[in-house]
Amino acid sequence: MARFVLAVAALLLAVAASGAAAQGVGSIITEAMYNSMLPNRDNSQCPARGFFTYDAFINAANSFSGFGTTGSAEQMKRELAAFFGQTSHETTGGTKGAADQFQWGYCFKEEINKATSPPYYGRGPIQLTGQSNYQLAGNALNVDLVSNPDLVVTDPVISFKTAIWFWMTPQSPKPSSHDVILGNWTPTATDNAAGRVPGYGVITNIINGGRECGGVNDNGGNADRIGYYKRYCDMLGVSYGDNLDCFSQQKFG
């Protein structure tokens, strides 16, 4: 009898998880779509293999009201394409110029040389970096990431949550990437003077403007982010929008 009860409970949990995935973000990024978008994430060459699971993404995504569920169907799809475009670049294992360059997102889960702001070097889909970001993300998620930054590379749900937290949260003078991709951000006079205009490009500026925007040699960073984004937009059947790069934008701050 006890075994029967446990079996029923397990079945109910599986059904509940399936139902959660079928709603909200999961209605756009199905497991089949996720696997098609990230076909090499579990490749034997990828250090992150087995880590970035679909269930972990859905669990994290459903924890943030409005993420991938705001606006029209087109806006929802474009936001998810933009999120995966940026995070795929951050975690890419692709080779520049290769035919499959944009099929290697989520290959890495932490900075390779671990040299940026150790021990708070880049981790997770968005490559969360710096003690301040670990502190703010930890406070928002109610976990101590300052004392245990490796949670971002040992717990896949927390890992995804840090990326979505960064995506959803404005950090003045930067708007949130969420507001930008939905068209809810209005540039200030300072932004206009700095060439920062609405579009995917300003999200790159939010994430890594100091190294990739304003005419610096970005080593192909803009092109890689845009390539991933366009691939995902095409897969989801949504237009790209305007202003995809940040070459002519000054960094924030």
Q: Which residues are catalytic?
A: 90
Classify residue 243 as left (phi > 0), alpha (psi -120 to 50) or beta.
left
DSSP-derived 3-state class of residue 128: strand
Whole-number Å distance between alpha carbons of 180 and 93: 27
Whole-number Å distance between alpha carbons of 186 and 163: 23
Residues 6+ apart with CB under 8 A from 187: 196, 197, 198
Whole-number Å distance between alpha carbons of 187 and 250: 13
DSSP-derived 3-state class of residue 110: strand
Query: Within 13 A of 242's CA, how many CA atoms are on the CB side?
Result: 4
Tell me the chain's radius of gyration from C-alpha atoms: 18
Q: How far is CA 40 from CA 32, 85, 89, in A?
A: 14, 15, 13
Closest of 143, 118, 113 to residue 129, by C-alpha: 118
| DSSP category for residue 251 | P
